[in-house]
Structure 1
Amino acid sequence: MALPLTPSRTGQPASDCRVLGLRERKKQRTRDSLVAAAHGLFLRQGYARTTVDEIAANVDVSQRTFFRYFANKEEVALAVLADAEDYFVECLRRRPAEETPLQAMRASITQTWQVMSRDEGSGPGGVQAALELIDLIESTPMLLAAHLRRTIEQEGVVTAILAEREGLDPATDVRPRVLAAAFGAVIRVSHLSWTADTAAHAAGPDGMIAIIERHLDQLGPALAGPWRS
């Protein structure tokens, strides 16, 4: 798998997939194959026209096997970005305590894109697949709705992490929730800007990182500065 810090996928922390047993490695390969097959089918014939049976048949597994890994077609479609988002969350948890909230989030999103770029071709979670999925989401209302639902859920997770880092109560201090929501909005706007920017598009992950950095520079000092008095 391209993104190593996703314990929810393998039950293992960090990136050492070598310690996985044979059964776990086989399960990971099956999951990766389902994600790759679904992604290819969605791009070739569209999301609506692709069925779970077709995805499973491409990997030579049963529909029942598919549903061991994914609850529905939406979940397998969004898996590439979902894994990247999970990786971002794990990076954020590990950032040094002396960083401001925005510094920690910037470093985490940059690391996520860099790892995806470095591991391109080693699994279905590479940069090219992520960028293709971004385009697919924006042109597919069902996927866009599902992606936005997940984004809202992730905002809650990020809010909790930021509040814990800073020793704040998010019920009474709105800054963790506001920053989580603002950061999510910046990332989506960056995705849209990347799609429309030919030069950034051609630059791949470096172009995406540059756009994200430029947009984050525009966040106000009230969110960007230190929060601890």
Structure 2
Amino acid sequence: MSPTTTVEVTSLRERKKQRTREALIDAAFELFTTKGFEATTVDEIAEAVEVSSRTFFRYFGSKEDVATSLQLQQFLDVYSALDARPAGEPVVTALRHACVQVLRAYEEGENDSAQFACVTQLVQESPAVMARSLEMCTEQLDELSRRVAARMGVDPVADPRPKLVASVASAALQVAVRAWRETEPDEKVSDLADRAFALLEAGINYPAAP
């Protein structure tokens, strides 16, 4: 087999794996929406895609991992968008543009938008999903801190600012999602996030009441 053929076979195999993974995610979210998270089994998710439960576990460690897969992918997409921002752009501004860009891309995809609504509800309603989401977000905040530190040219261990920036950015997104769920359902999460980041850029050292 020539090197070119080997690359083509590998590429085909990887595309097939990606299609299977996406099919499992789609099937899982459809079942979560119709049956509820707790009532859905791994066997049912696998059966919907016509694969075995063993195949499911090659892609995901648990139902909770499927439920939070969209959140993980959003972090990865934000990293890519952040890397593409101009090198001299201030970190909060760069994060604002990166996060809003990713959110708007998901809002424009009908399937992604429905899954986003589903996962935000699951995080609120299922203790197991909330626990996995918090664990995953903590892991990714560490990675985001490292990327912010690299952008600032500082050591993320010695300098607390990258972790502070990453944590505040995460809080801004949480505020936006909560506002969308509880008080402003007609607004887009991306617009709410954009406004939250604008407040961060302006500074949040507000004066005390007189």
Range class of TM-score, shorter chain? 0.7 to 0.9
Q: More helix by proportion, 1 or 2? A: 2
What does residue range 1-229 of structure 1 map to in structure 2 within 5 Å?
Answer: 21-121=11-111, 126-197=112-183, 200-203=184-187, 207-219=188-200
User: Aligned AA for 1:202?
Assistant: D
Distance 2:158 2:15 in 1: 45
Distance 2:146 2:72 in 1: 18
Distance 1:112 1:96 in 2: 17
User: Aligned AA for 2:200?
Assistant: L
TM-score computed with the length of structure 1 as normaliser = 0.79
Higher relative contact order (CA 8 A, sep 6+): 1
Q: Which runs of 5+ in 1 are unaligned?
A: 1-19, 224-229
Of 65-74 and 87-96, the range deviating more from structure 2? 87-96
Shift of 1:221: 5.3
Question: Deviations for 1:130-164, whole angstroms, at most 9, x for unmatched residues?
Answer: 12211221111111111111111111111111111
Aligned residues: 196
Structure 1 or 2, whichever has the larger Rg, is 2
User: Aligned AA for 2:47?
Assistant: A
User: Aligned AA for 2:23?
Assistant: S
Question: Deviations for 1:154-180, whole angstroms, at most 9, x for unmatched residues?
Answer: 111111111111111222221111010
Q: What percentage of residue pairs aligned between the two structures are identical?
A: 34
Q: Secondary structure at the match of 1:195?
A: helix
Please tell me whether the aligned partners of residues 159 and 176 of structure 1 are also in contact (alpha carbons under 8 angstroms): yes
TM-score computed with the length of structure 2 as normaliser = 0.86
Please tell me whether the aligned partners of residues 113 and 127 of structure 1 are also in contact (alpha carbons under 8 angstroms): no
Distance 1:60 1:45 in 2: 19
Root mean square deviation of aligned Cα: 2.0
Where does structure 1 differ by over 6 angstroms across 4 or more consecutive aligned residues?
Answer: none
Distance 1:21 1:163 in 2: 34
Q: Secondary structure at the match of 1:148?
A: helix
Distance 2:197 2:66 in 1: 30
Shift of 1:93: 2.2
Please tell me whether the aligned partners of residues 43 and 136 of structure 1 are also in contact (alpha carbons under 8 angstroms): no
Shift of 1:220: 6.4
Distance 1:117 1:26 in 2: 26
Please tell me whether the aligned partners of residues 142 and 163 of structure 2 are also in contact (alpha carbons under 8 angstroms): yes
Q: Which runs of 5+ in 2 are unaligned?
A: 1-9, 205-210
